[in-house]
Amino acid sequence: MTDYTAPVTDLHFLLTQVIRADTLWSSLGLHDADVDTTNAILDEAAKLCEQVIAPLNREADEQGCSLVEGQVTTPEGFKEAYEAYCEGGWGALGGDPEFDGMGMPKTLVACIEEMLQGSSMAFGLAPMLTAGACLALNAHGSQALKARYLPKMYSGEWSGAMDLTEPHAGTDLGLIRTKAEPMEGGAYAITGTKIFITWGDHDMAENIVHLVLAKLPDAPDNAKGISMFLVPKFLPNDDDTLGERNAVTCSAIEKKMGIKASATCVMNFDGAKGWLVGEANKGLAAMFTMMNYERLTVGIQAVGAAEASYQRASAYANDRIQGRALTGAAEPNQTADPIIVHPDVRRMLMHMRAFNEASRAFYLYVASHLDIAKYTTDDNLRTQSEGRIALLTPVAKAFMSDMALSATIAGQQVFGGHGFIREWGQEQYVRDVRITQIYEGTNGIQALDLLGRKVIANNGQWLKDYCHEILLFVSGALSIELKVYAAQLAEQTEIALALADELITRSQKNPDVIGDSANDFLHMIGLVSYGYLWLKMAQESHQLLETTHQDQFSADFLNAKQHCCRYFFNRELPRINHLVYCIKAQTDDLMAMPASLF
C-alpha cells in the first residue's frame, strides 16, 4: 500500500509560478511570508502529515469513535497526533497576531489544509472546525470574548465546533427552535438540540467552544431572528483555568458512510451558559463570515483525498501485472504487462490528475482573492476581489467536490476488485469524499447560489469581470501549441457569458429556469475556470523548460504539465458542449410530471 506523499513540489510550483505569491504577499504588506519561509513551512507540514497523521487513517476508519457515559473517545493515536499538531503551532498559522496567531495568508494556509485533509479527512476536520469558529469569533465577537478564547483556540488547547443544524432544520435555518434566554450578568441560557455536529465532543482538547445558532425570546420567527452564541463545554475561570462543566452534552454519535474516525455528534444544550457573538438577530451574517472560508476548505478537503487516491492508483497501475499491451508485449520478459499500458487505465489516471491539479490551482486562485480582500488598502481592488470570491466560492465547494468524487471512483476502478476491498484503502476515499458534496451547503444549493444570487441577481457583472480576466489572458503571448487551446477557451468563455445573459432574461418569465439550469451552469463555469488555470500552468511550465539552467523543477514534472493540459483540452473541456445543450434546451421535462407520480 502506497504511503501518502504531500504534493509539496506542485504546491511550490503553483505558489511561485502561477499565483506569484511572493509578489502578492509583498504588495499586501505580508512581509513575514516569503519563499524561504514558505518552503520551510511546507516541508515541516509534510513531515507531520506523512509521518504522524497519514499512518493513522486506515485503522482509525476501522476503529471509529466511541461514546461512553457522555464522553467521546477518539481512535487510537489521534490524541497524540493532535498534540503533535498543536506543538507545531499549526492551529495558529492563519490566526490574528493580536491574539497569538501568526497572521499567515490564506494562500499558504490552504496548502497546509490540503496536506492535512489528504493525510486524514476525519482528523483534519477537527482543526478545520476550530479555524472556522475562530474566524467567526474574530470577526464578530466582543474584545473580551476574543481575548479569552482565541489564544486558547489557536494553540489547540481548546477546539471549536459549529452548531447549526437541527433535526427539522438543515438548509432552512430559519426553522431552528434552539432558544436563548437572557440571564443576569449578560449571559444567556441556551436550550435545544443540534445534530450533525462534527467533533462536537472528543478527548483531544481540554475544552470545546461551540458557536451555536439560537433565537432570542422576541426574535422574528424566520432567518432574520437567528443569533449566534458562544457556549463552552467547560466554563473558564477568571484566570482562564477550566471551571465547572457547562450543560452541554453529546447524546449520540452518528453512524455514517464515511469519515468514520470523526465524531459526528448529537449535542444537547440544557440551559447551557453562553454569550452573544455579534449583534442580536444577526447570527446568519456571523455564520457567513466563516462560510466563505469553510466552503473553500471543504473543496480543499475533497482535493486532498482525491490526491491520496491518485497516488495509490498510479502506483498500483505501475505495479499490477495483468494482460498484454494491445500493441504487443511491453515487458516480454514477464508473464504479463503492468496495467499502465492499457489506454483505459490511463484514461482514468489522466482524468484524476487533470482535475486534481486544476483543483489545486483553483483553490489557490480563490485563496489569493481572499488575501487581497482582507489585506489590500486599495478599495477598488478589494471590491473586485470580494466580487470574485462571491462568484467563485460556490464553484470551489461544489465543482471541486464533484470532481473529487469522480476522481476517487476512478482511483477505485483502477484497482478492479481490489478497489472494492477495504484492505487497499481506495473505497475509504470514495466514502469520505462523498460528504464534501453534502455538508456546508449541499452542491445543489451551491449551484442555486451561483446562478441565482451571484449571476442573475447581480445582472452578470461579477461573471463578466471574471470572464474579462480570462479573455485578456488568452489574448496574450502564449506558445504556439497553447494558442490553439486559448482560442478554444475564448470561445467557451464567450458562450458562458452569452448563456448567462440568456438565463437572466428567461428567469424573469419562469423562476424555475434557475433551478433547472443551475447545476449545469456551475459545472460549465468550473470547466472554464480549470481551462484558464491549465493554460496558466502549461504556459509557465513551457517557459521554464525553455529557460537555461532552470533547476527548480525537473523536466519530467514540467513535461507532465504539458501532457495534462493537452489531455484536459482534448477530453474534458468539450464537456461544456453537452452542458450548453442541456441549458439551452428550454424543456419542461423536470417540472412537468406531477409530484404524485414520483
Same domain, 426 and 486: no
Same domain, 434 and 294: yes
Model confidence band, residue 330 (pLDDT cutoffs 50, 70, 90):
confident
Model confidence band, residue 1 (pLDDT cutoffs 50, 70, 90):
low
Distances (CA, A) of 347 to 299, 344, 415: 23, 5, 14
Whether pLDDT at 521 is above 60? yes
Same domain, 522 and 417: no
Model confidence band, residue 170 (pLDDT cutoffs 50, 70, 90):
confident
Same domain, 424 and 543: no
Integer Cα distance of 207 and 227 in angstroms: 23
- pLDDT 10s digits, 525-538: 999 999 999 999 99
Q: Which domain holds residue 483?
A: 453-590
Domain membership flag for residue 294: yes
What average pLDDT does this structure show over 114-125? 98
In this structure, what DSSP letter does residue 401 have?
A: H
Given 166, 440, 540, 572, the catalytic residue? 440
What pLDDT does 586 receive? 76
Domain membership flag for residue 573: yes
Domain membership flag for residue 22: no
Of 104-108, 327-331, 455-459, the poorest mean pLDDT is in 327-331
- Identify whether 481 is a catalytic site residue: no
**Amino acid at site 540:** E
Within the chain, how many helices (H) and strands (E) appear?
18, 11
Domain membership flag for residue 558: yes
Q: Evaluate if pTM is beyond 0.75.
A: yes
- pLDDT 10s digits, 198-219: 999 999 999 999 999 999 999 9
Same domain, 506 and 546: yes
Number of other CB atoms surrounding residue 514 within 10 Å = 21
What pLDDT does 2 receive? 61
What is the helix (H) or strand (E) element at residue 162, kind and residue range?
strand 158-163
CATH number at residue 365: 1.20.140.10
Same domain, 398 and 310: yes
- pLDDT 10s digits, 546-584: 987 788 899 999 999 999 999 999 999 999 999 999 999
Same domain, 309 and 396: yes
What pLDDT does 328 receive? 87
Same domain, 352 and 461: no
Same domain, 429 and 470: no
Domain membership flag for residue 376: yes
Give percent of the chain above pLDDT 70. 100
User: Where is pLDDT greater, at 428 or 290?
Assistant: 428
Integer Cα distance of 559 and 552 in angstroms: 14
pLDDT averaged over every residue in the chain: 95
Domain membership flag for residue 195: no
Distances (CA, A) of 443 to 396, 440, 520: 10, 9, 12
Domain membership flag for residue 89: no
From 385, 409, 440, give the residue that closes a domain. Answer: 440
From 440, 463, 478, give the residue that closes a domain. Answer: 440
Model confidence band, residue 289 (pLDDT cutoffs 50, 70, 90):
confident
Same domain, 477 and 518: yes
Domain membership flag for residue 25: no
From 385, 415, 440, give the residue that closes a domain. Answer: 440
- pLDDT 10s digits, 449-470: 999 999 999 999 999 999 999 9
What pLDDT does 331 receive? 87
What average pLDDT does this structure show over 414-423? 95
Number of other CB atoms surrounding residue 94 within 10 Å = 22
What pLDDT does 589 receive? 87
Same domain, 293 and 432: yes
Same domain, 459 and 419: no
| Three-point CA angle 54, 55, 59, nearest 5° | 110
Count: domains in the chain: 2
Whether pLDDT at 509 is above 80? yes
